[in-house]
Amino acid sequence: MISVDAKKQELVSEFKNSGSQWRPVGEPVHVLTHDFPDKELGKAVPYGIYDVAANTGWVNVGTDHDTAAFAVESIRRWWNAVGRTAYPQSHRLLISADAGGSNGYRTRAWKNELARLAAETDLTITVCHLPPGTSKWNKIEHRLFSHITMNWRGRPLTSHEVIVQSIAATTTRTGLHVDAQLDTGLYPIEVTVSDADMAALPISRHHFHGDWNYTLHPPPTQPPTHKQPYTTTAAPRQHCPSSPG
């Protein structure tokens, strides 16, 4: 079971970061007075995956847009780097997500991308969305994101490398371990999924609030279409000597 969500987007440069940290007297860190996005550095889009049982986090730090394709790509990267090794015998994946954003229950592209992931990994993927207005109940908020925010408080996020390293350095007394990775891929917005594509998705809605709880199935294993012809080899004829008359 994993808990997923996108963290607040961060501007990358010498901008003020809320909080405070210890510094030598008279040596404050100088920051810019206005937080207009830097044309070269842009922004950081952290998308997190929190493994509830293992108490581990994985954060994919994007540089483009927070889209459904980016959200599912983050889960794909976590599975290929961590999940597949940690759970080699698993055939099911349970995802806990909030109700809006790139992984919202109304987002068609989210379901469409998850169907592709199910086909690639041969995993049966079940998604359970928290009701609208209860996103803070999602475990990733208070077991991962809050600790990341405390870890880099008062420190300007001057580059994507600083953000990735700060996230990866986040630990807790209860044993939280976090990995982070930079994702420079492009994720266009306004991608449409037709009614025909939605109707073709291998999705089954649960009896209880099927709009919030549903399962995406991998394609069934197809039996071989051509069978090898069954052939027999005739046994060699043996000469039986005649008995004496």
Model pLDDT, residue 226: 52
Mean pLDDT estimate for the chain: 88
The Cα 138–Cα 5 span in angstroms is 8
Judged against a pLDDT cut of 70, whether residue 243 lies above it is answered with no
Single-letter code of the amino acid located at 163: I
Kindly report, residue by residue over 103-117, the tens digit of the pLDDT.
Answer: 999 999 999 999 999
- Report the predicted TM-score, pTM, of the whole model to 2 decimal places: 0.83
Domain ranges across the chain: 2-20+32-216
Do the Cβ atoms of 2 and 49 come closer than 8 Å?
A: yes
> CATH fold of 2-20+32-216, please?
Nucleotidyltransferase; domain 5 (3.30.420)
More confident call, 243 vs 186? 186
Which backbone phi and psi does 135 adopt, to 5 degrees?
-65, -30
CB 201 within 8 A of CB 216: yes
For the segment 210-233, the average pLDDT, to the nearest whole number, is: 71
Coil vs helix vs strand at 243: coil
Between 15-19, 122-126, 214-218, the lowest mean confidence (pLDDT) is in 15-19
pLDDT in tens, 187-197: 999 899 999 99
Predicted confidence (pLDDT) per residue in 46-60, tens digit: 999 999 999 999 999
57 within 8 A of 168, measured Cβ to Cβ: no
